[in-house]
């Protein structure tokens, strides 16, 4: 497995591989890899000749009060996990390599879908995401790039910008990977105290209650949201950021589930912000 | 010479040529070609294996009160001129091909250099320029793209976004091409009445006065601007939008010319807005 730290070397490597007729699958991450990331690598391996994984904790997608400085980092362990998973190359640039000037003068803005859900609680977050992903896609030039369903809104934003900016990369999504007890895998789970870790199960359990009600015939969004909130509020330390059920295609509002929907939760446990979601597909 | 109207065919053609080892030089235009555009084609031909010229009147870079609907168009004549100049392919997409949804959700924003000069008079203009150029560069995938010095601020904006978004295209600039009497070539010159056409010479003449004063030893920006305005105000129908002398590198303010500078004029003759400029290079 190779490790490259500069954009120029990364681009040259990608250009060379493409000239050899190889397709590149790309998994952009902020590191501290867990089985969620590795499932993206596995999917990328199955669909491309080569897999590039990037590790870059992107300051531009963190708010001033957020956890950029303490976000967990462990390049040594990440390298071992990536190599074992069959990654061909880790792109591991420093902040100055990506942002010679910070903040950068140029940003990629996506309207509409960025204004809902996490966009409300995290102003500027999706501009940071859209900008870094555009940059990374231009450097790595992959055939396909892989994103987890856990960040469903992020997936929609990236799909939109890739289409709007005529990027040649296909944007792929892979399912949420969970711990055995149901907690969605996240690098931020490392922040949780044992008590918070216990209470964090409420997110997935609330989504499961929603799923059962829906499969039992309940299609009214208001009733489903009420049931989710009831479960979440059983946890004394849990603070709801939002519980929303929206159109899966564009996060538009929805009163009755007659079209594919995304059920999305964001909640705080202490200082840790967790998200989880459930796709309800209507054919 | 080929003519392609869809982004998919354009991208496929470019990908094929690159696989054959050919370099592409790209000249993006809004059509109504004049010798200024053709000088860009000539430069592109001298530095690349193939030349692609695009013709797209980009609605996103026109303000609501501006001349989008009346902007001159003549694809037939443009094709003849392009073919004669040695263009290999014209990319001529329709508005729906470029913007399936209008306005698009995604835009490319460049701060700083876009806020001065034309950015003040034309809010949103450079966001429209930055967005369309990003799209076109992603579709055409050129080694080099060519822009005229007449739109000097546009050149700076595009150079900035290409660097910030890690595009692999080199951004090149070519000198202003002028009519025999000195008027900078522009598709918008077609709007001028004979009287306005006469008065429009004031822009270049004012710049020439500035150049002579500068070469004669005058380095004070305030004095040079005063001399330019004096010449411009001799024309009864001419309305000054701005006369500015800024740092050539980033349009930063400048009191004394001790570093390369751009002398930039924008003025109205009737409803027609004309721009012109002069680079004063300091080694």
Q: Quick one: pLDDT band at residue A17, thresholds 50, 70, 90?
A: very high
What is the rounded CA–CA span in Å between residue B123 and residue B127?
Answer: 9
Q: Is the pLDDT of residue A141 over 90?
A: yes
Q: Is the pLDDT of residue B82 over 90?
A: yes
Answer yes or no: is A192 within a domain: yes
Q: Is the pLDDT of residue A134 over 90?
A: yes
Q: Is the pLDDT of residue B112 over 90?
A: yes
Binary contact (B7, A160; C-beta < 8 A) = no
Q: Is the pLDDT of residue A258 over 90?
A: yes
What phi-psi label fits residue A175: left (phi over 0), alpha (psi between -120 and 50 degrees) or beta? Answer: beta
Nearest CA in chain A to B113: A105
- Residues of B within 8 A of A136 (CB-CB) are 166
| pLDDT tens-place string over residues B39-74 | 999 999 999 999 999 999 999 999 999 999 999 999
What is the rounded CA–CA span in Å between residue A207 and residue A229?
Answer: 10
B20 in reach of chain A (CB within 8 A): no
Share in percent of chain B as helix, strand, coil (round to 5): 45, 25, 35
Task: Please check whether residues A166 and A273 belong to one and the same domain.
Answer: no
Task: Please check whether residues B158 and B202 belong to one and the same domain.
Answer: no
Mutate: best of B6, B109, B166, partner A, most A CBs <10 A: B166
What is the rounded CA–CA span in Å between residue A232 and residue A244?
Answer: 13
Q: Which helix (H) or strand (E) holds B265?
A: strand B261-269
Cis peptide before A235 (omega within 30 of 0): no
How many domains are there within chain B? 2
Residue B129: name the closest of B172, B166, B162, B100 by CA. Answer: B162
What SS3 class is residue B39? Answer: helix
- Residues of A within 8 A of B160 (CB-CB) are 105-106
Residue B244: name the closest of B118, B151, B155, B128 by CA. Answer: B118
Chain CA centroid to CA A38, Å: 13
Answer yes or no: is A48 within a domain: yes
- Residues of B within 8 A of A164 (CB-CB) are 104-106, 135
Nearest CA in chain B to A136: B166
Task: Nearest by CB to A135, from B107, B109, B166: name it.
Answer: B166
Q: Quick one: pLDDT band at residue B227, thresholds 50, 70, 90?
A: very high
Catalytic residue among B37, B125, B246, B273: B37
Question: What confidence score (pLDDT) does residue B283 get?
Answer: 85
Question: What confidence score (pLDDT) does residue B270 get?
Answer: 95
Task: Nearest by CB to B106, from A7, A108, A138: name it.
Answer: A108
Task: Nearest by CB to B165, from A112, A135, A160: name it.
Answer: A135
A166 in reach of chain B (CB within 8 A): yes
Please write down the HEC assignment for all residues of chain A.
CEEECCHHHHHHHHHHHHHCCCCEEEEEECCCCCHHHHHHHHHHHHHCCEEEEEECCCHHHCCCCCCCCCCCCCHHHHHHHHHHHCCCEEECCCHHHHCCCCCCCEEEEECCHHHCCHHHHCCCHHHHHHHHHHHHHHHHCCCEEEEEHHHHHHHHHHHHHHHHCCCCCEEEEECCCECCCCCECCHHHHHCCHHHHHHCHHHHHHHHHHHHHHHCCCCEHHHHHHHHHHHHCCCCCEEEEEEEEEECCCCCCCCECCCCEEEEEEEEECCEEEEEEEEECCC
CB pairs under 8 A between A and B: 74
B252 in reach of chain A (CB within 8 A): no
Q: Are B118 and B155 in contact (CB under 8 A)?
A: no
Binary contact (B138, A7; C-beta < 8 A) = no
Residue A25: name the closest of A7, A2, A52, A3 by CA. Answer: A52
Question: What confidence score (pLDDT) does residue B39 get?
Answer: 98
Task: Please check whether residues B132 and B262 belong to one and the same domain.
Answer: no
- Residues of A within 8 A of B165 (CB-CB) are 106, 108, 131, 134-135, 138
Could you say which DSSP state residue B271 is in?
A: T
Answer yes or no: is A148 within a domain: yes
Could you identify the residue written with the tokens 């309940």?
Answer: A218
Average pLDDT, chain A: 97
What is the rounded CA–CA span in Å between residue A264 and residue A277?
Answer: 4
Task: Please check whether residues A155 and A219 belong to one and the same domain.
Answer: no
Looking at B109, B142, B174, the residue that finishes a domain is B174
Task: Please check whether residues A235 and A169 belong to one and the same domain.
Answer: no
Residue B186: name the closest of B275, B257, B85 by CA. Answer: B275
Q: Are A186 and A34 in contact (CB under 8 A)?
A: yes
Mutate: best of B21, B108, B119, B133, partner A, most A CBs <10 A: B108
Q: Which residues of A27-55 are buried (b: 16+ CB within 10 A; e: fewer)?
A: bbbbbbbbebbbbbbbbbbeebebbbbbb
Task: Please check whether residues B167 and B224 belong to one and the same domain.
Answer: no
Task: Please check whether residues B76 and B108 belong to one and the same domain.
Answer: yes
A105 in reach of chain B (CB within 8 A): yes
Q: Which helix (H) or strand (E) holds B183?
A: none
What SS3 class is residue B11? Answer: helix
Binary contact (A168, B138; C-beta < 8 A) = yes
Looking at B174, B207, B232, the residue that finishes a domain is B174
Could you identify the residue written with the tokens 């270049």?
Answer: B204
> Which residues of A are identified as catalytic?
37
B158 in reach of chain A (CB within 8 A): no
Task: Please check whether residues B74 and B129 belong to one and the same domain.
Answer: yes
Q: Which helix (H) or strand (E) holds B174?
A: strand B170-174
- Angle (CA) B153-A112-A58 rounded to 5° is 65
The enclosing domain of B268 has a CATH number of: 3.30.1300.10
Task: Please check whether residues A12 and A141 belong to one and the same domain.
Answer: yes
Q: Give the pair of three-digit tokens for residue B84.
A: 């004669």
B161 in reach of chain A (CB within 8 A): yes
Residues 6+ away with beta carbon under 8 Å from A69: none
Answer yes or no: is B149 within a domain: yes
Residue B167: name the closest of A95, A157, A106 by CA. Answer: A106
Task: Please check whether residues B50 and B133 belong to one and the same domain.
Answer: yes
Choose between A283 and A148: higher pLDDT.
A148
Task: Please check whether residues B156 and B220 belong to one and the same domain.
Answer: no
Average pLDDT over every residue of A143-150: 98
- Domain of A51 in residue numbering reads as 2-174
A164 in reach of chain B (CB within 8 A): yes
Q: Quick one: pLDDT band at residue A283, thresholds 50, 70, 90?
A: confident
Q: How many CB atoms lie within 10 A of CB B252?
A: 12
Q: Are B262 and B152 in contact (CB under 8 A)?
A: yes
Answer yes or no: is A85 within a domain: yes
The enclosing domain of B105 has a CATH number of: 3.40.50.620
Binary contact (A166, B19; C-beta < 8 A) = no
Nearest CA in chain A to B140: A166
Task: Please check whether residues A149 and A208 belong to one and the same domain.
Answer: no
Question: A260 vs chain B: nearest CA distance in angstroms?
Answer: 22
Answer yes or no: is A180 within a domain: no
Residues 6+ away with beta carbon under 8 Å from B214: B224, B257, B280
Residue A167: name the closest of A148, A147, A149, A140 by CA. Answer: A140
Binary contact (A130, B106; C-beta < 8 A) = yes
- Residues of B within 8 A of A110 (CB-CB) are 105-106
Nearest CA in chain B to A18: B19
Task: Nearest by CB to A107, from B104, B109, B136: name it.
Answer: B109
Residue A114: name the closest of A104, A105, A125 by CA. Answer: A125
Residue B156: name the closest of B250, B24, B20, B28 by CA. Answer: B250
Q: Tell me the whole-structure pTM to 2 decimals.
A: 0.96
Residue A91 β-bridge partners: A4, A54
| pLDDT tens-place string over residues A160-200 | 999 999 999 999 999 999 999 999 999 999 999 999 999 99
What is the rounded CA–CA span in Å between residue B123 and residue A205?
Answer: 49
Nearest CA in chain B to A169: B138
Nearest CA in chain A to B137: A166
Could you say which DSSP state residue B193 is in?
A: -
């Amino acid at each position: 497995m190779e490790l490259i730290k500069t954009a120029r070397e990364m681009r040259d490597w990608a250009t060379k591989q493409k000239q050899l007729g190889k397709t590149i699958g790309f998994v952009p991450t902020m590191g501290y890899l867990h089985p969620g990331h590795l499932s993206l690598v596995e999917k990328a391996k199955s669909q491309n000749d080569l897999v590039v994984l990037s590790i870059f904790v992107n300051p531009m997608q963190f708010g001033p009060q957020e956890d950029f400085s303490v976000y967990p980092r462990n390049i040594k362990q990440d390298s071992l996990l990536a190599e074992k998973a069959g990654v061909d190359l880790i792109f591991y640039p420093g902040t100055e390599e990506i942002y010679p000037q910070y903040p950068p003068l140029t940003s990629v803005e996506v309207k509409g879908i960025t204004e809902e859900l996490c966009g409300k609680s995290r102003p500027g977050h999706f501009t940071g995401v859209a900008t870094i992903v555009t940059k990374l896609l231009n450097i790595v030039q992959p055939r396909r790039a892989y994103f987890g369903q856990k960040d469903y809104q992020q997936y929609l934003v990236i799909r939109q910008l890739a289409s709007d900016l005529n990027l040649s990369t296909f944007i792929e999504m892979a399912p949420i990977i969970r711990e055995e007890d149901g907690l969605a895998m996240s690098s931020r789970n490392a922040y949780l105290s044992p008590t918070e870790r216990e209470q964090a199960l409420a997110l997935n359990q609330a989504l499961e209650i929603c799923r059962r009600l829906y499969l039992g015939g309940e299609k009214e969004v208001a009733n489903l949201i009420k049931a989710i909130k009831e479960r979440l509020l059983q946890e004394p330390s849990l603070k709801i950021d939002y519980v929303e059920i929206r159109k899966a295609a564009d996060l538009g509002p929805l009163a009755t589930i007659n079209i594919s929907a995304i059920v999305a939760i964001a909640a705080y446990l202490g200082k840790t912000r967790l998200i989880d979601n459930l796709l309800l597909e209507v054919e």
